[in-house]
């Protein structure tokens, strides 16, 4: 489908452009449908809507849905108020197990914002719950007469959250690829038991970066895209490369800030830090966008596990993927190619798409690129740290035994980095940590951190993850979240497996095209 470029007639009108330099500007509806630009770049907004202190004060009376409607109205200016309200109210409903949507919990001098109370017990629910509705409305707005094919790779949580959100949505098929040995048993079981006539799941012989690269190659295969067009299909993405997935993530950082003000922990206008455990960089990029909008944020703290390519980049200006990917207890962060970093580089390097394209050619051909000293100066808002496996376990133990607060392995990475940050910088500014998944998604590692008997008893270590869920629940007295209950008994509905080179053939088989 050929989308027309726009003419801007209103300074408040938002449009989207590619990081790779395409001169075409398009509406948010078109950007959401496309997912990725024709030139292989990612869509970015034409400007950052601003949040004033009076806006923040008014937000004190907003619930999560009201704030989401306000935020999205600034970025989706081609959507009506009624359309945005429809998307928000259908996304943030009873599928979340708390009316707050994202509770915030104080532990000592830090605040955990819990992003995992949705349908799959992971933060990906926050944006993926609304993306199907944004896509449906976008399709209607541009008069799309093709079936949308959601094509995505997952390092664990995105896959299930996307499958859950798009299951049985009319006019959409969803295909998810995941690394066979790169997700937890619970994450895999959540995906392969997914119901829905329009859902398709395939394990890939490789790591997440292999699967993600395979998906990008399919998106960028012009001959295949033309074939799809003739067969009345169009690709889109549920990864955070889709701007419709990224924008809703901005909401919870603003909401978290406002909640601290409502609780009397800060004054409106006071700065806070945001710490995000991240691998693909989308979640922390949303915090960066919030800061660019005027949310009073000081440091954006990027927490990595032992796959610390982002830590190295922020500290040196050199992005080097030429290293062995490590499989860790925080699998959603086991990534060496952070897709959303492209949006940040585009911004901090003055939107110099020529330079950016060269950098990403270097990454593809040489496995490494570097940014200039001038660009590095614009990274001053960021601080980066990483946690080893032992440090992650220690942080989970500390949170549990010092504050009676249970966190998962990814949040454990974040909490470990926070403790390092505080010791190194002596920064007294209040900090919000993004708590990205339920601890019950990774019971073996969490038990290893808090249960001495589990570590020392070889019999207990032989339990499978489903039995470990029950062990963790009995040990802590915390009920297993509903999305994870009875996983072992659910019927496996997806058993496909392929090599990376066969991913396109799997898509063709699903769509019944030659």
394 shares a domain with 358: yes
Q: What is the distance between the alpha carbons of residues 29 and 298, in angstroms, rounded to a whole number?
A: 32
- Is residue 402 pLDDT above 70, yes or no? yes
Is residue 413 in a domain?
yes
323 shares a domain with 257: yes
Helices (H) and strands (E) in the chain — how many of each? Answer: 23, 15
Among 411, 439, 467, the domain-final residue is 439
472 shares a domain with 429: no
Q: What is the distance between the alpha carbons of residues 508 and 201, in angstroms, rounded to a whole number?
A: 14
Task: Name the burial class of residue 506, with classes exposed (0-12), middle (13-18) and buried (19+) by CB atoms within 10 angstroms of its CB.
Answer: buried
473 shares a domain with 431: no
Is residue 229 in a domain?
no
Give the domain range for residue 474.
444-480
361 shares a domain with 309: yes
Per residue in 73-90, pLDDT tens? Answer: 999 999 999 999 999 999
424 shares a domain with 291: yes
- Is residue 161 pLDDT above 60, yes or no? yes
Task: Provide the 10 A C-beta neighbour count for residue 52.
Answer: 9
Per residue in 233-292, pLDDT tens? Answer: 999 988 888 999 999 999 999 999 999 999 999 999 999 999 999 999 999 999 999 999
Q: What is the radius of gyration, based on Cα positions, of the chain? A: 22
**176 three-state secondary structure:** strand
Is residue 12 in a domain?
no
411 pLDDT tier (thresholds 50, 70, 90): very high
Is residue 168 in a domain?
no
Evaluate whether 437 touches 190 at the Cβ level (below 8 Å).
no
- Is residue 1 pLDDT above 80, yes or no? no
User: Cβ neighbours of residue 364 under 8 Å, at least 6 residues apart?
Assistant: none
Q: What is the distance between the alpha carbons of residues 315 and 304, in angstroms, rounded to a whole number?
A: 13
Q: What is the distance between the alpha carbons of residues 85 and 500, in angstroms, rounded to a whole number?
A: 40
- Is residue 48 pLDDT above 70, yes or no? yes
Per residue in 190-211, pLDDT tens? Answer: 999 999 999 999 999 999 999 9
Helices 243-262 and 282-293: angle between axes, nearest 10 degrees: 60
Is residue 145 in a domain?
no
Per residue in 319-336, pLDDT tens? Answer: 999 999 999 999 999 999
What are 112's strand-pairing partners? 105, 433
**Could you give the percent of the chain with pLDDT greater than 90?**
89
Average pLDDT of the residues of the chain: 94
Question: CATH number, domain at 403?
Answer: 3.40.50.1100
Among 417, 439, 461, the domain-final residue is 439
CA distances from 197 to 244, 245, 483 (A): 24, 23, 20
- Is residue 2 pLDDT above 60, yes or no? no
Segment 58-86 shows an average pLDDT of: 98
Rama region for 313: left / alpha / beta (φ>0; ψ in -120 to 50; rest): alpha
Looking at residue 162, its pLDDT comes to 93
Segment 451-475 shows an average pLDDT of: 91
Q: What is the distance between the alpha carbons of residues 307 and 455, in angstroms, rounded to a whole number?
A: 25
User: Cβ neighbours of residue 61 under 8 Å, at least 6 residues apart?
Assistant: none
User: Cβ neighbours of residue 154 under 8 Å, at least 6 residues apart?
Assistant: 160, 162, 176, 177, 178, 183, 191, 208, 211, 239
Higher pLDDT, 23 or 228: 228
Rama region for 426: left / alpha / beta (φ>0; ψ in -120 to 50; rest): left
| Cα 319-289-149 angle, rounded to 5 deg | 80
User: Cβ neighbours of residue 367 under 8 Å, at least 6 residues apart?
Assistant: 320, 321, 322
Per residue in 292-322, pLDDT tens? Answer: 999 999 999 999 999 999 999 999 999 999 9
Task: Name the burial class of residue 171, with classes exposed (0-12), middle (13-18) and buried (19+) by CB atoms within 10 angstroms of its CB.
Answer: middle
Is residue 265 in a domain?
yes
- Is residue 4 pLDDT above 60, yes or no? no
428 shares a domain with 452: no
460 pLDDT tier (thresholds 50, 70, 90): confident
Per residue in 348-383, pLDDT tens? Answer: 999 999 999 999 999 999 999 999 999 999 999 999
- Is residue 155 pLDDT above 90, yes or no? no
- Is residue 5 pLDDT above 90, yes or no? no
**Helix, strand, coil fractions of the chain, as percent rounded to 5:** 45, 15, 40
Paired tokens of 414: 């974040």
Q: What is the distance between the alpha carbons of residues 177 and 218, in angstroms, rounded to a whole number?
A: 12
Among 388, 422, 439, the domain-final residue is 439
**146 three-state secondary structure:** coil
Paired tokens of 100: 């707050």
Evaluate whether 124 touches 158 at the Cβ level (below 8 Å).
yes
433 shares a domain with 303: yes
Q: What is the distance between the alpha carbons of residues 303 and 301, in angstroms, rounded to a whole number?
A: 6
Is residue 285 in a domain?
yes
469 shares a domain with 434: no
Looking at residue 412, its pLDDT comes to 98
458 pLDDT tier (thresholds 50, 70, 90): confident
376 shares a domain with 322: yes
Element (H or E) spanning 199, and its range?
A: strand 199-204
Looking at residue 10, its pLDDT comes to 54
Per residue in 178-189, pLDDT tens? Answer: 999 889 889 999
Per residue in 99-114, pLDDT tens? Answer: 999 999 999 999 999 9
374 shares a domain with 314: yes
| Cα 375-380-384 angle, rounded to 5 deg | 105
How many structural domains are present in the chain? 2
Segment 43-72 shows an average pLDDT of: 98
456 pLDDT tier (thresholds 50, 70, 90): confident
Looking at residue 11, its pLDDT comes to 64
Is residue 249 in a domain?
yes
Q: Which residue's entry shows tokens 């998810």?
A: 176
Task: Provide the 10 A C-beta neighbour count for residue 446.
Answer: 28
DSSP structural state of residue 386: E
23-35: b (≥16 Cβ within 10 Å) or e:
ebbbbbbbbbbbb
**299 three-state secondary structure:** strand
Segment 386-398 shows an average pLDDT of: 98
Q: What is the distance between the alpha carbons of residues 354 and 443, in angstroms, rounded to a whole number?
A: 46
Q: What is the distance between the alpha carbons of residues 454 and 491, in angstroms, rounded to a whole number?
A: 29
294 shares a domain with 412: yes
**Could you give the percent of the chain with pLDDT greater than 70?**
98
239-274: b (≥16 Cβ within 10 Å) or e:
bbbbbbbbbbbbbbbbbbbbbbbeeeebebeeebbb
């Amino acid at each position: 489908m050929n989308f027309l470029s726009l003419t801007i007639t209103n300074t408040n009108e938002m449009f989207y452009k590619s990081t790779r330099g395409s001169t075409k500007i398009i509406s948010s509806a078109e950007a959401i449908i496309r997912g990725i630009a024709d030139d292989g770049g990612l869509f970015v907004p034409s400007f950052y809507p601003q949040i004033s202190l009076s806006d923040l004060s008014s937000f004190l009376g907003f619930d999560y849905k009201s704030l989401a409607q306000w935020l999205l109205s600034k970025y989706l200016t081609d959507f009506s108020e009624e359309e945005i309200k429809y998307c928000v109210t259908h996304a943030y409903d009873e599928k979340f197990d708390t009316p707050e949507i994202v509770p915030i919990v104080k532990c000592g001098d830090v605040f955990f914002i819990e992003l995992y109370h949705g349908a799959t017990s992971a933060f990906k629910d926050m944006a993926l719950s609304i993306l199907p509705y944004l896509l449906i409305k976008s399709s209607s707005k541009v008069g799309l007469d093709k079936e949308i094919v959601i094509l995505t790779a997952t390092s664990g949580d995105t896959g299930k959250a996307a499958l859950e959100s798009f299951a049985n949505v009319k006019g959409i098929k969803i295909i998810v690829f995941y690394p066979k040995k790169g997700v937890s048993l619970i994450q895999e079981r959540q995906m392969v038991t997914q119901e829905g006539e329009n859902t398709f799941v395939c394990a890939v012989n490789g790591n997440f970066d292999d699967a993600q690269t395979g998906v990008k190659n399919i998106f960028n295969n012009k001959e295949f895209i033309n074939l799809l067009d003739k067969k009345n299909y169009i690709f889109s993405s549920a990864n955070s490369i889709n701007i419709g997935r990224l924008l809703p993530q901005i909401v919870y950082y603003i909401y978290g800030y406002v909640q601290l003000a409502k609780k009397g922990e800060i004054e409106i206008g006071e700065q806070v830090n945001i710490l995000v455990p991240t691998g693909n960089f989308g979640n922390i990029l949303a915090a960066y966008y919030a800061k660019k909008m005027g949310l009073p944020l000081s440091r954006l703290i990027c927490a990595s596990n032992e796959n610390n390519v982002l830590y190295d980049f922020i500290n040196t200006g050199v992005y080097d993927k030429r290293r062995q990917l490590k499989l860790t207890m925080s699998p959603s962060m086991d990534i060496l190619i952070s897709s959303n970093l492209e949006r940040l580089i585009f911004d901090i390097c003055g939107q110099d798409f020529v330079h950016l394209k060269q950098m990403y050619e270097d990454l593809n051909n040489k496995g490494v690129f570097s940014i200039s000293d001038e660009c590095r100066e614009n990274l001053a808002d960021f601080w980066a740290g990483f946690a080893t496996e032992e440090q992650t376990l220690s942080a989970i133990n500390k949170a549990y035994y010092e504050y009676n607060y249970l966190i998962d392995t990814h949040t454990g990475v974040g909490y470990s980095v926070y403790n390092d940050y505080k010791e190194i910088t002596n920064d007294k500014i209040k900090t919000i940590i993004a708590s990205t998944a339920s601890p019950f998604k990774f019971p073996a590692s969490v038990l290893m951190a808090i249960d001495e008997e589990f570590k020392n008893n070889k019999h207990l270590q032989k339990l499978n993850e489903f039995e470990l869920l029950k062990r963790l629940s009995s040990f802590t007295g915390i009920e297993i979240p509903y999305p994870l209950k009875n996983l072992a008994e659910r019927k496996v509905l997806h058993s496909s497996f392929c090599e990376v080179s066969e991913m396109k053939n799997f898509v063709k088989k699903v769509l019944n095209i030659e």
